[in-house]
Amino acid sequence: MNNITSARPTMAVKVNEFVRSVYNWMTIGLALTGFIAYYVSTSPSIMRLVFGNPLILILLIVAELGLVFTISGMIPKMSASTATTLFVIYSALNGITLSVIFIAYTQTSIASVFFICAGTFGACSLYGWTTKRDLTSAGGFFAMGLIGIIIASVANIFIKSSAMDMIISYIGVIVFVGLTAYDTQKLKNMAISQPEGLSGDTVRKGAILGALSLYLDFINLFLMLLRIFGNSRE
């Protein structure tokens, strides 16, 4: 009985440490993205280099997608330091491409939407952590919604419909709200199911993978809300 009782706090400590590591790395990624985005937006020469040359912008986007797929698909084969480095590089590159929002929107509206996003993300993450409902099927539904958003967004590049853009944004908010809750529950299950004796390197890689998922949810939710509530500089 004593062994069982003493094992429970140990498991709780391990879960808390893992989750804390995930959110710490997510926060580091978001902070790095925000800092670089703001810095790049204040440098006309870098802005001209990135957004004045379509080839460089395309290469940045391809590099970001490549990093996401590499971290998500190959993390079991890489070291924890490599996974961490790739996550930091991705966050930095994302900051470069997102610097345009400081040109398109007022800083006041960006700050306001960020706090709205943080509150929404926190509430959804808390729901995903505390709910007794299995969100697996809902996660599949929202994943299909994400595919639909991507297809509709690509189509709207050619259609250039402001109404379609707004519809995509509202649907996007719903999708990423759902994915935030789903990914948080998946993170919780991952933390609880960690076997005894798991190496620190493996735990670190799991934390980076979890941080990447929540980072993507936060960034995309923020962008969708910004398109709805952001005040344009024009």
CA gap 112, 195 in Å, rounded: 42
φ/ψ (deg, to 5) at 62: -60, -40
234 domain residue, yes or no: no
Tokens of residue 40, six digits: 């790049």
64 domain residue, yes or no: yes
CA gap 169, 115 in Å, rounded: 18
Residues of the chain with pLDDT under 50: 1-7
151 domain residue, yes or no: yes
pLDDT value of position 196: 67
How far CA 100 is from CA of 35, 37, 48, 177, in Å, comes to: 13, 8, 11, 24
215 domain residue, yes or no: yes
47 domain residue, yes or no: yes
Tens digits of residue pLDDT in 49-64? 999 888 999 999 999 9
163 domain residue, yes or no: yes
Tens digits of residue pLDDT in 54-90? 899 999 999 999 999 999 989 988 999 999 999 999 9
User: Total structural domains in the chain?
Assistant: 1
What residue numbers bound the domain in which 138 lies?
A: 2-229
197 domain residue, yes or no: yes
142 domain residue, yes or no: yes
